[in-house]
Structure 1
Amino acid sequence: MVALSACAAPEDVEGPGGEDSEATFLQLATGSTGGTYYPLGGEIAQLWSDNIEDVEVSTFATGASVQNLRSLEGETEDDEGTQADQSQLIMAVNGVAMQARESAGPFADQPLGSPDDIRALGNIYPEVMQVVVGADSDIESIADLEGMNVEIGPPGSGTEVAARQILEAYGLDPESDINAYDSTFGDAATALGDGTVDAAFGILSVPAAGIVQVSASNEVRLLPIDGAESESLIADDPSYSPLTIDGGTYNGQDEDVVTLTQWATLYTTSALDEQLAYDLVRVMYEEAGEIGHDVGGQVQLDTAIDGLGDIELHPGAERFYQEQGLLD
């Protein structure tokens, strides 16, 4: 699924059809191999490579949102610790991108060099916070996680950023009130299944393959994120909105559960060619039906620009949305 190609920044080669090069090579920074970003990003990259003349897109695995936003400005490490070239396209949680734009949260001490240069291309799918415990656990609320072993996501991931916000909203200090672990969700699900940890946070698609897998042999429940704590989080961070996960989504989860969602969004910088940006966005939505991943059906034009906040659309994407009637 992953497009395998040589990697070069678009400014290093002539554009599609140019005299000096037969192709433009782009890199898409995704996420950990156990999450949704990596396999989904591979399929989207292949769509682009197959449907845009003289464009080749490759992907690489990363720690996800925070790391990906940094990769727009220079070299970064992939999830194996190997130096990877600068990426021209990234997948990131919209709330984390807003923090990067504002030099807040994980970017407060080490802000991006040019946070105003981030450009949105469009939403990919809803990023739903799912806090998983065993079905027979005594844990009924986020507040009950005090003193527990809790997977909060890899450092720099959107999951980790949101998990810390949520724990603090429930009066828990992530540094001292829980025993925090930072595995990818695939490993976190395994640890939950074998009882090594008591709960696992994950910003994931619904249904999430990792949760489906662990619930096949160990019934699970999802903890609600609602009430005053949810209202406070939404007031502080407009990238959040409430979402209900239907009962029966996972083995052991019999009741509907209210939680929070953000968006997995495609970002770039102002340096990306306008026509290329237009074509990337057009193909992602027009060919979404070819995506085999479970969340392929959630890549929808009518939600493409929801929750972008004050991050500007790339002019090429903006032109496409105007043609589609989403913008005036």
Structure 2
Amino acid sequence: MITILKTAATALAVTAAMTTAVSAETRITYKSAKAGSSYYQMGVELAEAMKTGTNGDVIVTIEESQGSVQNVMEAKARGGDYVFTTPPALVGLAQQGKAMFENKGDPAFDEIRALFPIPSLTMHFVMSADSGVTELAQLEGKTILLGKGSFGATEGEKYLKLFGLTDKVKVADAEISNAVAALKNGQIDGFVTAGSWPAPNVIEAAASTSVKILSLSDEQIAQTKRTKLTIPAGTYSDQDTDIVTTSLPVVAYTTTAMDDETAYQLTKTFWDSKAKLGGNSPWWNGVDQALLRTIKGQIHPGAVRYYTEAGIALSDDQK
């Protein structure tokens, strides 16, 4: 009888310990981009960093997304375990019920809070060396591939119009996935792409043929109303000087439904892991504390706690 009681007590103790372990584990859903994209891969890398950095206390599940607008829209129906990525500008539009969020406003959008920045969408104007193009004004008469449906395609079309090049440039009717082969074969003079830097397709292009990646002047950048970004010399093959271009900041967000401790752990673990992330995937090296300035709106109180402890200044509007 005593043996039976001891066995039962041991079983209860083991069950209790397992229950405690399970309850201590925090599960997060991270929604970013389409599978196969660089931003989906970033999510995979973040998930591994969170697991390693918290000794398995935080488990992140990656969920495929059709884009930033969908990510924001889902914030109104998700719980405290939801983290998503989007440019800060879209959060502002959602909260104001403007543009793509017109007639789709919801009080829940006011509860969106930032955690930390991730690599920005960075514009690349990639030209073959044979084209002789070294600045945007020289695109006249050239064949450019913009792609379709992506931020890079939309932004590239906007820049051509902005700088008076719309009717002076031939736009190739092809997908951006064909850009490197088309450039190498001389079918196009250049292509426009947007993504984190270093961008995989730009790395491939620079490694397979001689290219020139164009810089924009400060005046041109001001006209685009985008954020100025510098891609350091040496990022791409044969790139001897810095590339000055534009970018669209991207941030990881959650809502006030997330508890402060979880937001704190996610933010702290991200910054603690960033150097290791950058060692494995260089696009993380483009993220630094200066990108916090691009966050318009409030940061989650749990994340604010981390930034305060780390001595990182935030604006009054962000707190």
Q: Is 2:281 the counterpart of 1:296?
A: no
Q: Is 2:138 the counterpart of 1:151?
A: no
The 5 A counterparts of 1:169-208 are 169-171=162-164, 179=171, 183=175, 188-195=179-186, 197-208=188-199
TM-score, structure 1 normalization: 0.71
2:72 and 2:84 in contact (8 A); partners too: yes
Give, in whole Å, the separation in 1 of the partners of 2:141 and 2:76: 38
Aligned equivalent of 2:42 = 40
CA RMSD for the aligned pairs?
3.8
**TM-superposed deviation, 1:280:** 0.3
| Structure 1 letter corresponding to 2:293 | D
Q: 2:205 aligns with which of 191, 197, 214?
A: 214
1:188 and 1:200 in contact (8 A); partners too: yes
Q: 1:308 aligns with which of 266, 280, 295?
A: 295
Deviations 1:71-115 (A, max 9, x none): 43459xxxxxxxxx998212233444444444445x255755443
Q: Which runs of 5+ in 2 are unaligned?
A: 1-18, 315-319
**TM-superposed deviation, 1:66:** 3.3
| Structure 1 letter corresponding to 2:254 | T
Aligned equivalent of 1:223 = 214
Q: Is 2:22 the counterpart of 1:58?
A: no
User: SS at 1:31's partner residue?
Assistant: coil
Give, in whole Å, the separation in 2 of the partners of 1:115 and 1:312: 12
Whose radius of gyration is greater, 1 or 2? 2
Specify whether residues 109 and 298 from structure 1 end up closer, same or farther in structure 2 by C-alpha distance, changes over 3 A only. Answer: same
Matched-pair identity in %: 25
Aligned equivalent of 2:3 = none
Q: Which runs of 5+ in 1 are unaligned?
A: 1-16, 76-84, 235-239
The 5 A counterparts of 1:308-327 are 308-309=295-296, 311-327=297-313
**TM-superposed deviation, 1:312:** 1.1
Q: 1:117 aligns with which of 111, 117, 133?
A: 111
1:91 and 1:265 in contact (8 A); partners too: yes
Q: 1:128 aligns with which of 94, 110, 122?
A: 122
| Structure 1 letter corresponding to 2:236 | Y
Give, in whole Å, the separation in 2 of the partners of 1:220 and 1:33: 29
Give, in whole Å, the separation in 1 of the partners of 2:66 and 2:136: 24
User: SS at 1:261's partner residue?
Assistant: strand
TM-score, structure 2 normalization: 0.73
Give, in whole Å, the separation in 1 of the partners of 2:111 and 2:239: 43
**TM-superposed deviation, 1:42:** 0.8
Aligned equivalent of 1:89 = 83
User: SS at 1:39's partner residue?
Assistant: helix
2:75 and 2:109 in contact (8 A); partners too: no
Specify whether residues 249 and 298 from structure 1 end up closer, same or farther in structure 2 by C-alpha distance, changes over 3 A only. Answer: closer
The 5 A counterparts of 1:238-249 are 240-249=226-235
